Structure 1
Amino acid sequence: MTGRRGDYLEQIRRGGADLPPDLAAAFASVPREAFVPDGFQRRDGTWVCPADPEYLATVYSDDVLVTKVDNKIPVSSSSQPSLMAIMIVALRVAPGQHILEIGAGTGYNAALLASLGATITSIDVQEDVAVRARTALARAGISHVRVEHGDGYAGSSGDRFDRVIVTVGIGGVSPQWLSQLAPGGFVLAPVKHAGTHPVLVVSGPPEGPVTGTPVCPSGFMLAAGPLTADHPGAFPFPAGPLTDLLPVMPPRFDPPLGEIQYRDLWYAAGAWNRRASHVAVAGREQGCLALLDENRTGGAVIFPDGSIHAAGSSDQVEPAAIILDRWISAGRPPMQAWRVSCTLTGDPDAPIWAPDAWELS
């Protein structure tokens, strides 16, 4: 394939996704522009309209397209295509399956799943988002997708699903989804861990035990309601960017860790220390791994080169060094090497199965 769609597929592959022939055909045939008819926000905060010269080139790029903003905070989008592809491959879609999607977004993800022969029930808590997704699917000529407005926590009462895919960041898995799964089914969801949202394959009966296996790193907009309820084992959220960082330990990695290895270290940090989180650091476009102090305004930052910098209290410097030593001694395990056990926590009236213990396989 040549032209814009061919380049689009190559960008997705360069983003780390394996594209089986049927999924490549879906990305090549489903018109992404049909799902962003009103344009989208650039990373710099400006808006791209369909009449802009760069509109189609940006639509067919391996980038997230933010389609709704509330008080300058993105609240709906079309996810990064390479991440969508990785998740769809992990979902192991087969023709005839019934899939529950939590978070309709633009409808593009559901369209890709339907193009693989599945029937989709997609739920979004934002009514206007659900309406636009429904309209976009009709515009693109996609059938076998039903978009509902509702609380995704509850799933779709009375239905049974072969898979559940979640396209928003959550703190844990709803037992309702597990109760609606057919035998052999599983939930694929980006679940909060150390300030990020690694994608997990989660399975088990609604009453437990519930376990998970990491698939890949990711970052998603947060879900609303009980799916992101605070709980005793939750990781801390930073009070703001860390400033006045001072180097306290020299680099350990030359060259520095690449993005994937850095995320592997990050995952291990969250498995070994509940102070691990995601922080903004001045002068760096991407967020960094940090162990936050009790007031969440200081702590120790571990950079990709293995150096440790501190802000405020130095209490977290030694634990950060221990994490580096432990990860190196373990052979720098990838996140996929971990096995996750979950505990029922969160809102007592609407609990979630949240990761609680980790062990290396």
Structure 2
Amino acid sequence: MTDTDRRAAYVEEIRRGAPLSDELARAFATVPREAFVGRGFQDRHGRWTKPGDPGFLDAVYRDDVLVTKVDHRVPISSSSQPSLMAIMIEALEVEPGMRVLEIGAGTGYNAALLATLGASVISVDVQADVAARAASALTEAGITGVRVDHGDGYAGAPGHRFDRVIVTVGVGGLSPRWLSQLDPGGVAVVPVEHAGTHPVLAVRGTADGPVTASVVCPSGFMSASGPLTAAHQFAHPAPAAPGELAALREEKGPRFDPPLGALGYRDLWYAAGVWHRRATHAAIPGVDQNCLMLLDEDRTGGAAILPDGAILSGGAEPERWANDALDILKRWDAAGRPPMRAWQVTLALNGLPDAPIWVPANWSL
């Protein structure tokens, strides 16, 4: 396959997962993604692929995440799935000449796409080696208009003003400093923790409030560290890892025929997170995929809702948790099975006293 054919197929694959403007399609077609993974990457099967390996370029030009840094088998930096990048960039509504603050440099590929659209970008990453590699890759790819800083993402870029903010790491809430650096009328596109995942929010407001948001799309990101993921009163429990849960048994049979598809299941999941503070996700014994879970306080039981609407429960109070799960299903049905994009969010200032964050606190349809 020629380079031109490969990139054309890549754009069409992205287009199947995300709407693409002509300008963004051209950016994906022209920015060389391979320049941003020069040291290789880990695929979804745990294999490390390097330049020159068979299939390297085919894997690079695929609508998939490329993990570029691992710490004790835990991914800590990556090039995000291109269709998700496209959705987030389109939500920014970037125009030539705009100034963009990016939190989380990753490989530098996202900033390169923004710069190709005509934006001026300052990208901040807390990992010094990640920031250095991103800067080097941008130079190698011939991308101008991007500055990569090694620094604390919570602080943003002091002394600068921006038209847009984009965050490429999962956070518990928004730093007020991002909003103080955002010009009036600007928007911040941010993956904010909700029920164990990171739905992307389009956020508007000022550092002192009020701050509101609409939901853009589902996503799952690596989590930030420090005050951006500090515990707060509206937080959901962390996901249950394999081995944490005791065996669950079926309490209620399937409700949906056919089962919910991936997006429908995410819509239900989002609503569950609105209506229940113990909603998260969990590795369920005997189930192939991570599932929506109402996790009990001991983190050994509760109730799982499967894509077909079946409810599994276990632990100390299985009936109580199963009833909570059934209430969520009935409520979602009664509301007309709203998509997550239908929710409007009001944020509240919470988190650490000396480094607060704006976190989702109230929702309306």
TM above 0.5, one fold?
yes
Q: Which residue of 1 aligns with 2:106?
A: 105
1:341 aligns with 2:346: yes
Query: How many angstroms apart in 2 are the aligned matches of 1:308 and 1:225?
Result: 35
Distance 1:265 1:65 in 2: 28
Q: Which moved more, 1:241-250 or 1:223-232?
A: 241-250
For 1:61 and 1:119, the matched residues in 2 are separated by 27
Letter in 2 for 1:216: C
CA contact (8 A) 2:248 2:285 kept: no
SS at match of 1:120: strand
Q: Which residue of 333, 340, 343 corresponds with 1:328?
A: 333
Deviations 1:114-171 (A, max 9, x none): 0000000000000000000000000000000000000010010110000000000000
SS of structure 2 residue aligned to 1:192: coil
Q: Secondary structure in 2 aligned to 1:137?
A: helix
Runs of 4 or more above 6 Å deviation: none
Aligned to 1:275: 278
Residues 255, 305 of structure 1: 8 Å contact kept: yes
Cα distance in 2 for partners of 1:298, 1:238 equals 12
1:257 is aligned to 2:249: no
Once the two structures are superposed, residues 206-228 of structure 1 have per-residue CA deviations (whole angstroms, 9 ceiling, x without a partner) of 11111111000000000111000
Letter in 2 for 1:227: L
Q: Answer yes or no: is the 8 Å Cα contact 2:42–2:67 preserved in 1.
A: yes
Q: Choose 308-317 or 180-189, whichever is displaced more.
A: 308-317
Q: How far apart are 1:50 and its partner, in Å?
A: 1.0
The Cα of 1:281 is off from its aligned counterpart by 2.3
Opposite residue 248 of structure 1, the aligned amino acid is E
Stretches of structure 2 that go unaligned for 5 or more consecutive residues are none
Superposed, 1:1-361 pairs within 5 Å as: 3-15=5-17, 17-241=18-242, 242-313=245-316, 314=318, 315-360=320-365
- CA–CA distance in 1 between the matches of 2:327 and 2:92? 36
Q: TM (normalized to structure 2)?
A: 0.96
Distance 2:43 2:220 in 1: 17
The 1:93/1:285 distance shift into structure 2, 3 A limit, reads farther
Q: CA deviation at 1:6?
A: 1.2
Work out the CA distance in 1 between the residues paired with 2:89 and 2:287: 31
SS across alignment from 2:64: coil
**Given the two structures, how large is their TM-score scaled by the length of structure 1?**
0.97
**What is the distance in 2 between the residues matched to 1:306 and 1:116?**
43
What whole-Å deviation, never above 9, does each CA across 1:28-74 have from its counterpart, x for those lacking one?
00000000001101112121111211110000001000000011110
Structure 1's unaligned 5+ residue stretches are none
Aligned residues: 359
Q: Secondary structure at the match of 1:255?
A: coil
Distance 1:86 1:239, change over 3 A: closer
Contact 1:238 1:297 in 2 (8 A): no
Question: How far apart in 1 are the matches of 2:333 and 2:4?
Answer: 44
User: Quick one: distance in 1 between partners of 2:169 and 2:362?
Assistant: 22
Q: CA deviation at 1:19?
A: 0.9
**Conserved in 2, the CA contact under 8 Å of 1:237 and 1:296?**
no
- SS of the equivalent of 1:130 reads helix
SS in 1 for 2:201: strand
My pick for the range that moved more, 317-326 or 293-302, is: 293-302
Task: Report if the CA contact (8 A) 1:238-1:296 is conserved.
Answer: no
Q: Percent identity?
A: 65
- CA shift for structure 1 position 239: 4.4
